Chains A and B, each alone.
Chain A
Amino acid sequence: MVKIKDVAKACKSKNASPFELTLDIMFEDEETFARVRAARCITPERVPACYRIQPQDVLFTEYPPALAYKATIMRRIPSGAVGDTDIYGAQQHAPLLELELPI
């Protein structure tokens, strides 16, 4: 079973506002992206599960022009507020890296 870290061209996170975090998963070529799509393995359910949040709390977009998936979630703590450990939200991609893809 391959994982996202084995096949993705990019797997990244960043603030989408002081209160939101956006996660992008991108693939190298159309053939790989097509296999991932066909397997229906990056979904509005599986991605938030990596962050222990509910599907209804995620804005999920499949974006074929960039061979990408995007998921936007609320930050538990706003950027820069007391207790925040990642001001730009740039290191919140890690839980996705181990997501298994049956392709």
Chain B
Amino acid sequence: MVYYLIVCRSLTYAQRTASALERAGITAHILRSPRSISQEGCSHSVKVSQRRLADALVVLNRVGLTPQRIYITDSDGSYREVRL
């Protein structure tokens, strides 16, 4: 399944992000960022489905939560950064 990972600067920031998305009816799941995308080591990401990314970005923009970086899963299981 293809999904997006919104990388957050801290666990608390990821929790705020997920909470804002859930409040808007967008399923969001917090997980530890895969090592391959957590550039500075240890971070948390919020996972959203492919079809809800656009809605998610609108919500996050509205509440002033800025994603650090966003990645999409590739078919081989690797991650590719998404340029917005």
Bound pair: A and B? no
Chain B residues proximal to chain A, CB less than 8 Å: none
Chain A residues proximal to chain B, CB less than 8 Å: none
